[in-house]
A and B are shown apart, each in its own frame.
Chain A
Amino acid sequence: MTEKTDLTTRKESMLEKRQEIRRAIPLVDIYENDEEILLYADMPGIAKDSITINVDNGKLEISGIRKLQITGTASWQEFGDIEYRRVFSVPQSIDVNKVNAELKEGVLKLHLPKTEAAKPRTIQISAL
């Protein structure tokens, strides 16, 4: 019985607060032309270092965690720390080595170039 009272009376010297990070799906625009697939994703508040872009086995995964720099107590709070994550299927015709990404003003711009073999070709007609 003594142990039970222990649970309620013991002083918590280092009380841990469990921080729940909400997950969110970034909104995207996807465009394509003959050369590449172009993807825009809105990820406000995310730093360059905290974004991970993975292309593996026909899946493209974008993820990142946003941590807000906060001083003071919240009078109102409509958004908080968040984990962005979204997975797309990408065609095998993407040249994984040439994928490049830019981050500007909280918008991720991802260029997914197509492989040479996947680009449309014009066939010359040879006249006899």
Chain B
Amino acid sequence: MWTRVSDIDRMFNAMDLFRSNLDRMFTDDDRFFGEDFGWRVVNGAPRTNLYDSGDKLQVIAEVPGMSKEDLKVRIQGNYLELSGTRSLDAPGGYKAHRVERNMTEFTRSFTLPSEVNADKIEALLRDGLLTLVLPKIEAARPKQISIK
């Protein structure tokens, strides 16, 4: 008898694990259905996330196989532009069996929800993810109102 919602949830959790283990026992032929591919350019640009934590914004973009020289970040007010090129690292003297990754060139621009301090932006490229930390300008930060 389950009396709490979380108990039921926990049961489903266990079932999911069981199902995924069961899946592995069968052939992998039908795995393509209902699953998405790891990385691809959507509408000509990489996928991004934007997080707002009050005094700063965080933008993360998936940019595998690109070095920091391949990427360009421009900012003006609350307008952010991200562009990059990816060249394929196809080795010479090899015969290609399968080529799914493609070379690409993209530009993506965003209107950020608030203006940011362009001098204090940090950009970090790690494991194929570009993380931008954009501190908001003073006027856009949340303020504590003291109650009299």
Q: Which residues of A contact B (CB under 8 A)?
A: 3, 6-7, 10, 12, 14-16, 18, 20, 22-33, 37-38, 40-47, 68-80, 82, 84, 87, 103, 105-107
What residues of chain B lie closer than 8 Å to A80, measured between beta carbons?
49
Within the complex, the shortest CB–CB distance from B41 to chain A, in Å, comes to: 11
A44 to B47, CA, bound (A): 11
Knowing A10-B4, A45-B127 are in contact, say whether A27-B40 is a contact too (CB < 8 A).
Answer: yes
7 contacts between A and B (CB under 8 A): A12-B5, A27-B100, A29-B101, A42-B128, A76-B49, A76-B50, A105-B67
Knowing A16-B10, A25-B38 are in contact, say whether A79-B95 is a contact too (CB < 8 A).
Answer: no
What residues of chain A lie closer than 8 Å to B131, measured between beta carbons?
69
B100→A29 contact, CB < 8 A: yes
How many chain B residues touch the partner (CB < 8 A)? 57
Stretch of B51-59, B75-83, B115-123 at the chain-chain interface: B51-59
Knowing A27-B101, A46-B127, A105-B127 are in contact, say whether A82-B38 is a contact too (CB < 8 A).
Answer: yes
Knowing A32-B97, A76-B50 are in contact, say whether A45-B35 is a contact too (CB < 8 A).
Answer: no
B4→A106 contact, CB < 8 A: no
